Structure 1
């Protein structure tokens, strides 16, 4: 939860011998009003200034509400109700800016006054008995720079691009399954129990290799979310596949085509020379059909070869000599 700063000089500024109230202006009003609302307190005594500042604070907040209501066309003079939906609240926080901003007067970094205003709004709603836990959670995540998992995935893939589009699509599929069960929240704070329950739900009917991929993807994203921490907690996804035993279907093994099956395949392809050539390349090189389509034909040291420059794994990168029977 974000707490308001506590200080004997909160909202106070001394200029010369005299004290002034200095109230941060919400971000949306700063262009119109400047970064601070200031008013002379008419005293040189600190104790008296501490007492008078609260009257100025009330005046400032009323002015902020009046200007905000005027800008939004709200005739009642009250701030419009805010959504308690986490995603909507995060979107609102993104619109008011980052947790730290630069003070236009002195060029120094300071807390974003707009976020302080939102914290005040949440406190007021809490005092009225409204349920604001979602708002506090969203504000805390925003201040701590905790990205929703969808944004975390975009950041991870942008800085760790995958050579194979299928791998990228698999990551997005895994995150979609996570959001479907756990919503689009940050991964920070996810427990082993929550991770296990999610995996049990999404594993039904899946192969063990697919389940392993789910775990690996989420473990990588969790590690990315905590990469800046000096001592991150234990990754709840690591070892999760092993801890669940033999859940999932065993991988299927494929046997070689029988002679009759090969004749049937090439019989179907006899009037499709392009596909027949592709099938021959796959048959005599051992490459998957997708690899046959990506491979480059090159001559290396006098030998005609197919070159695969990239793939899902390091071993997928290889050079395959062209078999005489598959030459076209």
Structure 2
């Protein structure tokens, strides 16, 4: 059986046992198929497509099991609430002798449960049977209608756990989410964030953090409350900043769920946001690690080393561009030939795709960069100045070059406090040491000044003023 083959009546059969966790989904204990051959060697070849197809089905079923089961329980809860609300209303109307209104209420209930593909025709005989009856008749009608609707809902849901769904339909108080951070809600939250235009990497990071929290809540059978979140944060062996990011992800999810998820709102609308009001002990005297600037000698060392390596001319060009523009690595990798423009007679880079709205700016081309820009524009075929092997899944062109730079600086003995962004810090430091005004430096690198006068009312230094500032640099 280790080979998944079994001989029956002279023919070989392929078999595959279905794992216990997905048997309720696939509704079978094993797969079996005749290979219609008596040759074991041929059977070994013929079994492969069957096994592949079956394993794909198992993988798909296993991936859907948690989401499907939770969604079914949620649907049963909503249906149960609708039925119970109808019963409460119809009892009140019947007690007042308002049989017509109670009759209408039954049809309103059926409409509310329309998402479950209920059979309207099955309800009509019940209405006709009890129409015009006294209070006892209405009690009978309520009982029969409830049983009928519950049966139809079960059929429509086709639950993985039929007993649990049945209990929820009879009494919504039986509904207990293993964790309110369900797979269905995470998927809906992801769609909502993408429609809002949240950066893909931020969404993925939030989802990753929420899934880890979900797993911890379920494993420890904890409720989603302030005490649980505090306990969870205590289990994390990470920096305070990372814990705050965990809270930010949870807070975003909570606010979305309270506003957009009906079931979640019903359960938690009277509870305080568990991701707020957490205190972190700050250790005095410990300074936050900051990136260090490169010296001129450092930059020259990096540039020459990159030039001397096989197939690393792109990296050398990127280092030179960074040294003389102070631009971020992705900003440089997004520059196209058409982004080399003339402003007041000065050749400039037009940076439009930056980190924020202040990142949109023009940066004069230093005289040392002109031969490089000319060569890059010629080789670019009208596209990006810096060629990159590929984009990562978030569309960043700088990913591979950033990794190349990381390997280069490590090989040269630089630690984690030196990164490509250190070139930006060096650029700003060099200009400051050359007595360039802070307003001019901020305008070149795309920073706010922090004053309304310059950030709101001033157009900033012109291209000639910026060029004069950049021309004071002598690096490579």
CA contact (8 A) 2:348 2:364 kept: yes
Query: Which residue does the alignment assign to 1:105?
Result: none
Q: Distance in 2 between matches of 1:215 and 1:261?
A: 39
Q: Distance in 2 between matches of 1:234 and 1:20?
A: 39
Equivalent of 1:8 in 69, 83, 92: 92
2:297 is equivalent to residue 259 of structure 1: yes
CA contact (8 A) 1:148 1:184 kept: no
Q: Distance in 2 between matches of 1:179 and 1:171?
A: 12
2:195 is equivalent to residue 152 of structure 1: no
Q: Distance in 1 between matches of 2:135 and 2:362?
A: 78
Query: Which residue does the alignment assign to 2:347?
Result: 304
Counterpart secondary structure, 1:9: helix
Q: Distance in 2 between matches of 1:51 and 1:314?
A: 70
Count the aligned residue pairs. Answer: 261
Q: Deviations over 1:121-169 (max 9, x none)?
A: 336xx7xxxxx2416998xx99xxxx8244224313312x13xxxx431
Q: Distance in 2 between matches of 1:64 and 1:234?
A: 36
2:306 is equivalent to residue 268 of structure 1: yes
CA contact (8 A) 2:340 2:347 kept: yes
Counterpart secondary structure, 1:277: helix
Query: Which residue does the alignment assign to 2:170?
Result: 121
Q: Distance in 1 between matches of 2:120 and 2:127?
A: 14
Question: Could you state the TM-score of these two structures normalised by the residue count of structure 1?
Answer: 0.58
Query: Which residue does the alignment assign to 2:3?
Result: none
Structure 1 residue 70: Cα displacement: 7.8
Query: Which residue does the alignment assign to 2:162?
Result: 82
Q: Distance in 1 between matches of 2:150 and 2:271?
A: 42
Query: Which residue does the alignment assign to 1:110?
Result: none
RMSD: 4.8
CA contact (8 A) 1:280 1:325 kept: no
Aligned CA distance change for structure 1 residues 217 and 68 (closer, same or farther; 3 Å): closer
Q: Distance in 2 between matches of 1:50 and 1:235?
A: 45
Counterpart secondary structure, 2:188: helix
2:205 is equivalent to residue 173 of structure 1: yes
Query: Which residue does the alignment assign to 1:56?
Result: 141
Q: For the pair shown, which has the larger CA radius of gyration, 1 or 2? A: 2
Aligned CA distance change for structure 1 residues 220 and 279 (closer, same or farther; 3 Å): same
Q: Please identify which structure carries the higher helix content.
A: 2
Query: Which residue does the alignment assign to 2:385?
Result: none
Q: Distance in 2 between matches of 1:182 and 1:297?
A: 49
Question: Could you state the TM-score of these two structures normalised by the residue count of structure 2?
Answer: 0.43
Q: Deviations over 1:33-71 (max 9, x none)?
A: 27765124365xxxx622112223344455556667888
2:332 is equivalent to residue 292 of structure 1: yes
Gaps of 5+ in 2: 1-76, 218-222, 373-476
Aligned CA distance change for structure 1 residues 279 and 34 (closer, same or farther; 3 Å): farther
CA contact (8 A) 1:285 1:320 kept: yes
Aligned CA distance change for structure 1 residues 325 and 136 (closer, same or farther; 3 Å): closer
Structure 1 residue 293: Cα displacement: 0.5
